[in-house]
Structure 1
Amino acid sequence: MTSHAGEGFSLRRVWVWLLGILLIAGGAGFVLWKPTGGNASDQAYRLGTVDRGPITASVRATGTLNPVTTVLVGSQLSGQVVEILADYNTPVKEGQVVARLYAEQIKSRRDAALADLAQARADLDTKRAQIDKARSALQRAEAQAADLRAQRDRTQAQLEEAQRGSERQTQLNTRAVGTQAALEQARTQVDIQTANLASSDAQIASNQAETLGLKADLALAEANVKSAEAIILQRQAKLRDIEIDLGRAEIKSPVDGVVVKREVELGQTVAASLSSPTLFTIAQDLREIDIYANIDEADVGRLQEGQKVSFTVNAY
């Protein structure tokens, strides 16, 4: 009985040792044959001390960034682009030239308009000189009229004196005191002064007609001056119109900002007959921008008015 019991106990110990050896070998084989790289779905862990702080929720979305204020710069004039002075991301100031159109034809029109204006001003000077000449002639005629009236008054007085002398000689001849020669001489003086008076009246009438003609010439000269002044105003307006077109040949920025889009190339012909084409898009202030993003409704529901957020974008 004793020998059989000792043999059973020894057999159990052998099986326990064999099972232990198998477990150790399996664990070693698992460790040795386990892949070194982890799966893509494995979670990454990091260790850290436990503390309190804000929790940041990140959201990925697709959208665009747009300036709050953008200005479209176009051209009111048709022509070929001969110079481009601004490109993408170029800071520009108000009034700065960003492009130029071909303007040689406009300059030729301007030179012709300047010549026409100079000619109109010369014509105005000529017509004003004609006014001065007409006024001078009218003044001479009026002075001559005064002299003719004085001569007529003198002739009238001489006629009256000759008539009195003739009457006196007639009375002397009636009393047989005077001579026939003295009477005839007195009557001759009356006839001479009468003729002189008639001549004075004719000269005065001629002077009056001449004065009327000179007044008409003066009025015509004044009308010509007004017409010349109107022509000058018309040609000045034409010149200003051409100068406006010449100024439009230089495309200028209306505001301070940054060029965010250029839609014109060197040598391109701009056609502004129907509508003003857009050449540049200028952002007035890039410190303030609008974010247009397509965010999931579940993420939007966690936002509150006035909540501070930060964002990052993938861009060049």
Structure 2
Amino acid sequence: MEPSSFPERELLRRVRSWQRVPRLRRDIRVARAGTTRLRLSDPGTGKFIELSELEHLIAQAADGEQSSEDLTAFARGYNPAITRKHIEMLVMQLLQAGLLEDEPLAPGYGKVIPLPTAGTTADEFAAFRTQLVSDLHRSEGRRPDHPLPVRKAPGLQARIAVPRLRNDDDLSGGTSIGIGTDPFQALDSSPVPTPGALDELDDTVLSPDGAEAFADDAVPEPVVAPAPPEPAPEPVEPPGAREAPAETRPAPAPETAEKIEAEQDAVWKQTQAAKLRWYQRTSVRLLLALAVLTTAASIIHYPLYITSECTIIPSARVYVRSPIAGVLAAILVDEGTPVKKGDVIARLDDRHLVADRRKAKAETERIEAELERLRHGARPEEISQKRAELEARRTAVEFALKEARRRAGMLQEGVGSKQAQEEAQLDLQIKQNAAYEAGAALKLVAAGTRPEEIAAREAELKRARAELEFIDQKLADMVVIRAPMDGVVLTPRFRERLNENVEAGGLVCEIADTQSVRAEIFVYEREADSIALGMPVVVKVESYPLHPFEGKVGFIAPAVESRDRINVIRVATMLDNRDHLLRQDMTGYGEVECGRKSLIDLATRRLLRWIRVRFLL
């Protein structure tokens, strides 16, 4: 569990900042507090804590060189459920009780002599044994002539006995130290040495059992000894008669010779680090390596590739439109049909044009006949007819004049009406006008046709003939729709437009040249300075990811466009499409090779651009 109070959190932060866990103090008192519990106390302050045997074994393994991870790995050899948090809580308890050194010790502390390996001779091991016993004596404040009770064990392990706490040992004045739930409370059943395994001890430290065992560096695993019978009560001794010797258990040795040699090498490197020359120091070597890498990045060049999305469009495309309004009476091609220039692709309905031609033909013939009559003049029969018409008009005028006079006389005598007199007068005027027109017509016929009249009729004839020719041209050319170029019909479901009305200038179909296509690459605005005409381009489309299409930059748009709210510049290249793999509106990615640049320029180009733009450098 995490510490709840602020001092405990600060203490935990301090413990986690250590690279090595401090070792136990050498003047602490260790005594039995029960069958499976050990009591560690400070003789100066009287503070104490009670630990399980596994906790005590872990505390002994903290020799000033072990980190929290190392102690966790060591403890998991006895109980896999132990985590680093358990180790940190144990260290905090020991630190609060004042049972640890103030700070972690320097590297190599406690490693006075190297551990034996497979190549260690018998004499070297004897010296190691003598030094080990001497160090153990000094750690417990014993005299060299008072040997420390040590159990004989195979391999390199030595277990130090801890006597039981006698009744007269007064530790009641101690202060219990704890920070919540004991992290090892559920781990007391771990396979650690029990007191029963330490009851019978020898007084000497012996070499390993046999040369073969020593040559193999056999280090035994921790074993669980059978539980001892309940010990009988010991006789009470006077206070101060004997103090419980402090227990110091060394951490188990590594399991194999390779691990032992690796640990010795690590200790040797740490002790020799201070003796290295300046050019052998790790920091100097790192700086030299960084300088070499920077120089190499400035010298080595690599191509700069700019990749962006692209779209395939035809290289040439035309929209076929109807020259006149009409109905699509026939469609001769369909979507995807290859066509040549001049091929008929559709026909318009021409029935209304045929009717218009008939009218224009009749009008032309009428004007031609009238012009012919004007050119030859009037016949005698026509003159006699006009003269007879004039005489008839004059007779009608005389009769109307008499009738008007009679009506006027009757009105004066009072026997006639005003209305009858006015009607007679009006009839007289009408007949006089008709007689005047008949006289003018007779004069015109008798005089012949004037030249200006003949010219007017000739102009009307030309207009009628031009209209007839225009209708004939429509029937010949405008009704038939032809392909303006070689290509492929792209209009979807073109045949379904049969009998559809089209306006003059309306779209009929779309034809495109697919022998070569145009790839438009949408390059980010910030990359425009790196692209120039003629640079190699490789295009890959989603449909053919393993088929690259190569070309060169042939066009760079003069204006920036907005695409998905991002400013881009269109870069176009022409691609050969004689195999007809590329189709209109295909999408993919285009890669423009923008020359070779140094590795350091490639790595920093975007950062330098950002700095120059933001800070106007």
- Name the TM-score class by shorter chain: 0.3 to 0.5
Question: Whose Rg is larger?
Answer: 2
Q: TM-score, normalised by structure 1?
A: 0.47
Q: Which has the higher contact order (CA 8 A, sep 6+)?
A: 1
Q: TM-score, normalised by structure 2?
A: 0.27
Higher helix share: 1
